[in-house]
């Protein structure tokens, strides 16, 4: 048995992403998933907000680490329900998907 | 010859605590889905107002609102279970005594409330 | 007045005779102050002398009598019949371990893992007796005392689904004991233990189900110990990136 820095790395991302998700995702869901479609947010105000660099930083934090948090949890759930024989492919798919989502997020936010 | 008892693949259905654990872990699926859907919404924001308004009216349909309500419940369950576990991870001692669990989880809940209110204010009223 | 009774469904496995385990039903007298261990000893005395099970102190300090009672890992000396009345009470060997015979499981795997975490004080240089004893303040003792209460009863391993699914997981008790020594002010062996504690089969396998801490009869909280070691592992990673030269 030897130290695994890889696992320490993924766990750190999971931990940071989990804290961000716990703090920010509920209010985000309420605002962008329920309040905004139902017309409680002015479009001009939303556009002004997202063009602000501080908002972009906030969005980058929200749409990066939480993907890795979810990926780590889903990876381990897959192990727990029987995919333990495919350790490496499952990990690659999960973290790979998170990376792709994060890259899409960076591109989207930067071009706003 | 020792006898090995295999573990069932639906092991988590045998006990309430295991089921709650599985629900907690599966909140990650809803969080991930929400973040992707939100990213799509954000990418529409850059387009002309007409396109975005049409997009939003789509998101106001019943299935979408239902998804977001379910996702909100899942996200809150993630937050509550996450903050409740912080005292197990962060141990602060005063001499021989460990400070009460509430003093570790409490500030996290306070931060959650404060941040949420601030963001609601910024988005809805400022 | 008719004496009250309760039924025990006992897991039987005799390797010399049985290919598959079976359950055997027994009726025992129901006494308010009896525990499952009392019922088993009554059965062994009066009904079937071949029933095999481990026990010793009968007061929750030796860790010998762990078994599954109605699907939950319990110390049979601490599981009162009155908690299960009117029954039946299903008694099985501790989950996630191979069964040797009846209610006796093979614990070699745990013994191997326990040794691997080096659960003893490690000093870079042993202090000679002439220099006197190690001194430790009550606060320094309080740091690790909770984790030293482990009686190696293995209920946590029986409750842990990760251990059930992945037998090479080092497991709750071994990791809690590693943490106990890492927190001990007299110990200087953290670096040595890291190879095991931060290995792939170790803290990183744990998904914080938390059932280990729920079933622990001594409130050791192995789940908490493992999470604290994960934080230590993350800090170790940061240190190795920011200060790759040092490791002492």
Q: Which helix (H) or strand (E) element contains residue C6? A: strand C5-12
Q: Nearest CB to C207: which of A5, A10, A80?
A: A80
Mean pLDDT (whole number) for A57-70: 97
In chain A, whose CA is at the least distance from the CA of C200?
A4
C211 vs B: CB within 8 A: yes
ipTM associated with this complex? 0.94
Which among A79, A84, A68, A76 is positioned nearest to A20, based on CA atoms? A68
pLDDT, position C248: 47
The percent of residues above 70 in pLDDT, for chain C, comes to 98
Residues of B in contact with A37 (CB under 8 A): 56-57, 59-60, 64-65
Please state, in angstroms and as integers, the Cα–Cα distance from residue A110 to each residue in A50, A51, A53, A54, following that order.
10, 9, 9, 12
- Across the interface, do B1 and C214 touch by the CB < 8 Å criterion? no
The percent of residues above 90 in pLDDT, for chain A, comes to 85
pLDDT, position B75: 98
Mean pLDDT (whole number) for C71-86: 96
C-alpha to C-alpha distance for A90 and A77, rounded to whole angstroms: 10
CATH number, domain of B56, equals: 1.20.1300.10
Domain A5-110: top CATH class? mainly alpha
Within a domain: B1: no
In chain A, whose CA is at the least distance from the CA of B108?
A23
C182 vs A: CB within 8 A: no
Mean pLDDT (whole number) for C118-140: 93
How many helices, marked H, and strands, marked E, lie in chain C? 9, 7
pLDDT, position C2: 73
Predicted confidence (pLDDT) per residue in A3-29, tens digit? 999 999 999 999 999 999 999 999 999
CATH architecture of C108-242: Orthogonal Bundle (1.10)
pLDDT, position A8: 96
Give B13→chain A minimum CA distance, Å. 11
- Across the interface, do A29 and B67 touch by the CB < 8 Å criterion? no
Domain parsing of chain C, residue ranges:
5-105, 108-242
List the CATH code of the domain at C5-105: 3.10.20.30
pLDDT, position C1: 57
Predicted confidence (pLDDT) per residue in C186-224, tens digit? 999 999 999 999 999 999 999 999 999 999 999 999 999
Q: Which helix (H) or strand (E) element contains residue C104? A: strand C104-105
Q: Nearest CB to B11: which of C98, C164, C221?
A: C164
Contact, C151 vs C191, CB < 8 A? no
Judged by CB atoms within 8 Å, which residues 47-106 of A form the interface with B? 47, 49-50, 59, 62-63, 66-67, 69-71, 73-74, 76-77, 80-82, 101, 104-105
Q: How many domains does chain B have?
A: 1
Residue C247 scores a pLDDT above 60: no
pLDDT, position A85: 84
C-alpha to C-alpha distance for B68 and B54, rounded to whole angstroms: 18
Predicted confidence (pLDDT) per residue in B58-105, tens digit? 999 999 999 999 999 999 999 999 999 999 999 999 988 999 999 999
Give C116→chain A minimum CA distance, Å. 9
Helix (H, G, I), strand (E, B) or coil at C128: coil
Within a domain: B2: no
Model-wide pTM > 0.80: yes
C-alpha to C-alpha distance for C22 and C135, rounded to whole angstroms: 55
- Across the interface, do B88 and C99 touch by the CB < 8 Å criterion? no
A17 vs B: CB within 8 A: no
C-alpha to C-alpha distance for C109 and C98, rounded to whole angstroms: 10
Mean pLDDT (whole number) for C75-84: 97
Range of the domain at B82: 11-125
End-to-end CA distance of chain B: 73
- Chains touching chain B through at least 3 C-beta pairs below 8 angstroms are A, C
Which among C205, C188, C176, C164 is positioned nearest to C114, based on CA atoms? C176
Residue C246 scores a pLDDT above 70: no
């Amino acid at each position: 048995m030897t130290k695994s820095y890889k696992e320490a790395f993924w766990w750190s991302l999971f931990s940071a992403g989990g804290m961000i998700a716990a703090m920010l995702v509920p209010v985000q869901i309420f605002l962008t998933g329920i309040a905004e479609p139902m017309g409680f947010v002015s479009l001009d105000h939303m556009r002004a907000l997202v063009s602000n660099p501080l908002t972009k930083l906030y969005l980058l934090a929200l749409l990066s680490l939480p993907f890795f948090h979810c990926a780590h949890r889903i990876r381990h759930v897959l192990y727990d329900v029987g995919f333990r024989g495919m350790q490496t492919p499952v990990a690659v798919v999960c973290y790979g998907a998170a990376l792709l989502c994060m890259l899409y997020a960076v591109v989207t936010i930067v071009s706003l | 010859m020792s006898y090995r008892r295999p573990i069932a693949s639906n092991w988590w259905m045998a006990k309430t605590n295991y089921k709650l654990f599985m629900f907690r872990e599966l909140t990650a699926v809803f969080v991930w889905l929400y973040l992707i859907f939100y990213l799509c919404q954000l990418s529409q924001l850059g387009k002309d107002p007409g396109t975005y308004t049409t997009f939003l009216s789509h998101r106001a349909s019943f299935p979408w609102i239902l998804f977001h309500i379910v996702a909100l419940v899942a996200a809150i369950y993630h937050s509550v279970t996450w903050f409740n576990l912080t005292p197990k991870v962060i141990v602060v001692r005063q001499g021989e005594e460990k400070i009460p669990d509430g003093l570790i989880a409490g500030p996290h809940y306070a931060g959650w409330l404060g941040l949420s209110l601030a963001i609601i204010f910024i988005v809805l009223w400022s | 007045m008719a004496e009250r009774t309760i039924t025990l469904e006992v897991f039987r496995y005799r390797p010399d005779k049985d290919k598959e385990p079976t359950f055997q039903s027994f009726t025992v007298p129901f006494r308010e102050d009896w525990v499952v261990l009392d019922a088993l000893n009554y059965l062994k005395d009066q009904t079937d002398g071949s029933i095999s099970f481990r026990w010793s102190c009968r007061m929750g300090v030796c860790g010998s009598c762990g078994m599954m009672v109605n699907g939950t890992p319990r110390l049979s000396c601490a599981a009162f019949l009155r908690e299960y009345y009117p029954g039946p009470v299903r008694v099985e060997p501790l989950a996630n371990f191979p069964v040797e015979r009846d209610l006796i499981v093979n614990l070699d795997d745990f013994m191997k893992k326990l040794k691997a975490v080096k659960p003893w004080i490690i000093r870079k240089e042993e202090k000679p007796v002439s220099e006197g004893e190690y001194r430790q303040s009550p606060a320094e003792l309080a740091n690790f005392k909770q984790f030293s209460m482990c009686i190696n009863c293995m209920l946590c391993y029986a409750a842990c689904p990760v251990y059930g699914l992945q037998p090479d997981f080092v497991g709750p008790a071994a990791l809690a004991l590693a943490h106990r020594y890492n927190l001990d002010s007299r110990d200087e062996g953290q670096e040595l233990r890291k190879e095991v504690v931060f290995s792939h089969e170790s803290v990183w396998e744990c998904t914080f189900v938390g059932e280990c801490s729920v079933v622990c009869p001594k409130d050791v909280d192995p789940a908490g110990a493992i999470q604290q070691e994960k934080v230590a592992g993350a800090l170790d990673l940061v240190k190795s990136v920011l200060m790759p030269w040092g490791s002492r």
